[in-house]
């Protein structure tokens, strides 16, 4: 749904501000009034009725403003009895009064919220971003300005704030002290200020800019997609114009992190310098609209999916949505689903679609074949990951789901400020088995035994893959680390020469790209593919949750991972011949073992497995996740989980028990 807009003048905004409107920070404020979301008028006067007034500038679609909204509500409640007044102000031209009222209701704001039409108040007080707060005393002197705390930054999230700047400032003032830190740098989105477009400009939204956005941005920045705001309509884009330039200039958009000196990739996101210059000039000229007849046709997207056609099967992660709290830490959630496939399926395209993109950081769907099946790679099926495109492969390539398999959804949720629900699903497009000549598999390079020492930058962890299937070809590389991840590199190690596959000098946890090679690389003459992960556990890393911690492998973002996924193809003929050979060997080994079974030993193994699942399988889904076992046992988790699919199956636990009861 496109946000409705109307042009609003100064009528309805009563203001007593005098002087300039430049963005030079003031030391005090003058009385002013604003129209409120409930139809009243908010008046800020020198009547001495409040010890302190907190002016809280917010936006409706800015991710940080949404994260801090519940925190501001809590602070207002905590200080209500101490004569501290909170006032919400919205100065964005793209946010209507009706939308602001809905925002205040959604986040249960108990304090007044007003609309600053034409950003008059924001200009007078030199406020630049949302969220940004000012604390004013009863003489209307500004005693603090800046951020709420240091927990959130664009693209970064600490486990908790290390300094609660706003709370500290209020407490100091209420106790009669000076504010020790009266100013901090706010983080968040630039306020969408009203602009004065240049007349007869040669660069306009309708001509050049709308086409640049279609080419580079609208894939994500449209209703229901990953981007926090849509960029299809001028009324919305003009409010974000300054923010668009900022993210282009600092390299955050379009998101792409591979070093151009190494590798060529089919799915790279790169905006040419000429297009960047056009956007900068357009904004500098006041973001003029142009001639409506020059607008390009709207892009058409498949409703609900990015698949080549409607899916043949849609499998939800559960039979009902789950609820995620508005804040705090949510452990990885796992859902095991039986798609009830009675015959083998070949999947030529798959897409994971979150039910609620605002809280789903990533979702990975694995194939768990029936117990005893041959293991191929890590049984990866599909994933939804920040910034990752669905890769397009040839129709002759497909992933194999054996009959009777189950699907395992791994869900990582990040609360966004208010309780939310989610029901993620995966859509599958089936190939005609007769047309599939290559099987798609995913291999993994992983190190789960590393330790990152406190306060040290540039700590190296390595992992490699060897022993590739005959005739395999490499298609893509996907590195994965958390907030301490600094850089990544992958290298092909041949018998005669080595070559760099990809280098990611500035790894960004929020954009976990798959780097799809423009030409598949045959692996028959390759000894290993090596991966180098560099971590920064120092205080110089602004994303580092705790520089003083010794960090090991773990699911949560304040822990770390060192893993890289490699998509390969193998000839179906060779793959099936090898599977039959493995299955024949397994059956022969099984038959041989049957003759040597010790009934007492077998009974001990079965008792151990049953007791293990009774003790640790808390949700009784017949899979034991890392979070379900005691901390002391988690270091050995990877020894049990030999198939790479999240969760310990009875087969895996039985295998380990067999090694113990000899």
CB 625 within 8 A of CB 646: yes
Determine the 3-state secondary structure of 463 from DSSP. Answer: strand
Q: Cα dist. 35→10, 15, 38, 41, 97 in Å?
A: 11, 10, 8, 5, 9
Radius of gyration for the alpha carbons in the chain, expressed in angstroms and rounded = 28
The pLDDT of residue 306 is: 83
Q: Which of 345, 354, 360 is nearest to 313 (CA)?
A: 345
Burial class (CB in 10 A: 0-12, 13-18, 19+), 338: exposed
Angle between helices 650-660 and 599-616 (to 10 degrees): 130
State which residues of the chain have pLDDT below 70: 1-26, 302, 387, 574-600, 626, 630-645, 659-662
Cα–Cα distance measured from residue 326 to residue 70, given in angstroms and rounded to the nearest whole number: 8
- Residue 503 has what pLDDT? 97
C-alpha 636/C-alpha 108 separation (Å) is 45
How far out from the chain centre does Cα 263 lie? 25
Does residue 14 contact residue 41 with C-beta atoms inside 8 Å?
Answer: yes
Gap between the terminal Cα atoms of the chain: 64
Question: Are 252 and 154 contacting, i.e. CB atoms less than 8 angstroms apart?
Answer: yes
640, containing H or E segment: helix 637-640
Could you tell me which residues come within 8 angstroms of residue 656 by beta carbon, excluding any fewer than 6 positions away? Answer: 639, 640
Tens-digit pLDDT profile for residues 599-622:
667 777 777 888 778 777 877 777
Counting DSSP H helices and E strands in the chain, the numbers are 13, 29
Q: Structure tokens of 238? A: 């003009």
Instruction: Kindly give the pairing relationship between strand 438-446 and strand 397-401.
Output: parallel
CA angle 633, 638, 644 (to 5 degrees): 145
List the beta bridge partners of residue 526. Answer: 494
Residue 470 region by backbone torsions, left for phi larger than 0, else alpha for psi between -120 and 50, else beta: beta
Residues listed for the chain: 662
Tell me the C-alpha distance between 262 and 488, whole Å: 12
Cα-based distances in Å from 500 to 146, 272, 570: 44, 25, 22
Handedness of CA 609, 614, 618, 623 (dihedral sign): positive
CA atoms of 494 and 529, how far apart (whole Å): 9
Burial label for 8, CB within 10 Å (0-12, 13-18, 19+), is: middle
Phi, psi (5° rounding) for residue 332? Answer: -50, 135
Residue 17's nearest CA partner among 175, 92, 126 is: 126
pLDDT score at 579: 54
- Three-class SS of residue 646? coil
Rounded to 5 degrees, what angle do the CA atoms 90, 68, 7 make? Answer: 20
Q: Distance between alpha carbon 540 and the CA centroid of its chain, in Å? A: 23
């Amino acid at each position: 749904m496109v946000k409705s807009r109307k042009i609003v003048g100064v009528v309805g905004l009563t203001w007593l501000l005098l002087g300039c409107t430049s963005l030079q920070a003031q030391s005090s404020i003058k009385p002013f009034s604003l129209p409120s979301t409930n139809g009243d008028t908010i008046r800020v006067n020198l009547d001495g009725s409040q010890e302190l007034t907190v002016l809280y500038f917010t936006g409706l679609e800015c991710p940080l403003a949404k994260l801090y909204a519940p925190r501001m509500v809590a602070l207002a409640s905590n200080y209500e009895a101490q004569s501290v007044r909170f006032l919400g102000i919205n100065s964005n031209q793209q946010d209507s009064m009706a939308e602001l009222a809905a925002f205040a209701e959604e986040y249960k704001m108990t304090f007044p919220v007003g609309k600053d039409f034409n950003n008059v108040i924001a200009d007078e007080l030199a406020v630049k971003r949302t969220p940004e707060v000012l604390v004013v005393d009863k003489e209307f002197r500004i005693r603090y300005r800046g951020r709420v705390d240091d927990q959130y930054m664009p693209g970064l999230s600490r486990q908790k704030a290390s300094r609660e700047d706003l709370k500290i400032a209020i407490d100091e003032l209420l106790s009669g002290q000076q504010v020790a830190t009266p100013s901090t740098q706010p983080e968040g989105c630039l306020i969408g200020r009203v602009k004065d477009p240049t007349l007869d400009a040669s660069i306009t939204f309708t001509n050049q800019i709308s086409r640049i956005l279609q080419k580079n941005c609208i894939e994500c920045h449209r209703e229901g997609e990953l981007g926090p705001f849509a960029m299809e309509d001028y009324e919305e884009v003009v409010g974000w114009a300054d923010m668009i330039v900022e993210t282009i200039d600092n390299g955050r958009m379009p998101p792409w992190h591979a070093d151009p000196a190494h590798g060529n990739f089919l799915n790279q996101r790169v905006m040419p310098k000429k297009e960047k210059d056009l956007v900068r000039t357009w904004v500098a000229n006041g973001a003029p609209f142009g001639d409506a007849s020059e607008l390009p046709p709207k892009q058409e997207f498949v409703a609900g999916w990015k698949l080549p056609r409607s899916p043949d099967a849609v499998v939800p992660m559960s039979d009902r949505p789950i609820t995620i709290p508005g804040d705090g830490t949510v452990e990885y959630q796992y859902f095991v689903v039986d798609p009830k496939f009675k015959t083998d399926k070949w999947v030529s395209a798959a897409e994971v679609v979150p039910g609620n993109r605002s809280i789903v950081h990533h979702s990975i769907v694995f194939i768990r074949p029936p117990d005893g099946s041959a293991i191929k790679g890590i049984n990866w099926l599909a994933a939804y990951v920040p910034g990752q495109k669905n890769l397009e492969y040839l129709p002759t390539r497909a992933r194999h789901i054996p009959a009777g398999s189950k699907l395992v959804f791994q869900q990582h949720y990040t609360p966004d400020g208010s309780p939310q629900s989610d029901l993620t699903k995966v859509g599958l497009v089936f190939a005609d088995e007769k047309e599939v000549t290559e099987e798609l598999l995913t291999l993994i390079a992983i190190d789960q035994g590393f330790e990152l020492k406190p306060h040290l930058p540039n700590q190296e962890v390595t992992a490699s893959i060897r022993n590739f299937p005959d005739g395999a070809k490499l298609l893509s590389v996907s590195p994965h680390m958390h907030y301490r991840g600094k850089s990544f590199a992958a290298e092909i190690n041949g018998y005669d020469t080595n070559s760099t596959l990809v280098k990611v000098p500035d790894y960004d946890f929020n954009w976990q790209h798959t780097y799809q090679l423009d030409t598949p690389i045959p692996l028959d003459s390759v000894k290993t593919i090596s991966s180098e992960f560099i971590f920064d556990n120092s205080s110089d890393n602004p994303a580092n949750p705790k520089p003083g911690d010794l960090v090991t492998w773990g699911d949560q973002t304040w822990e770390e991972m060192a893993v890289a996924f490699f998509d390969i193809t193998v000839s179906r003929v060779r793959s099936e011949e090898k599977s039959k050979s493995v299955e024949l060997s397994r059956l022969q080994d099984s038959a041989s073992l049957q003759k040597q079974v010790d009934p007492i030993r077998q009974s001990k193994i079965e008792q151990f497995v049953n007791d293990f699942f009774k003790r640790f399988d808390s949700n009784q889904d017949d899979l034991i996740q890392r979070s379900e076992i005691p901390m002391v046992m988690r270091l050995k988790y990877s020894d049990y989980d030999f198939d790479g699919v999240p969760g310990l199956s009875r087969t895996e636990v039985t295998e380990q028990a067999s090694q113990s009861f000899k």
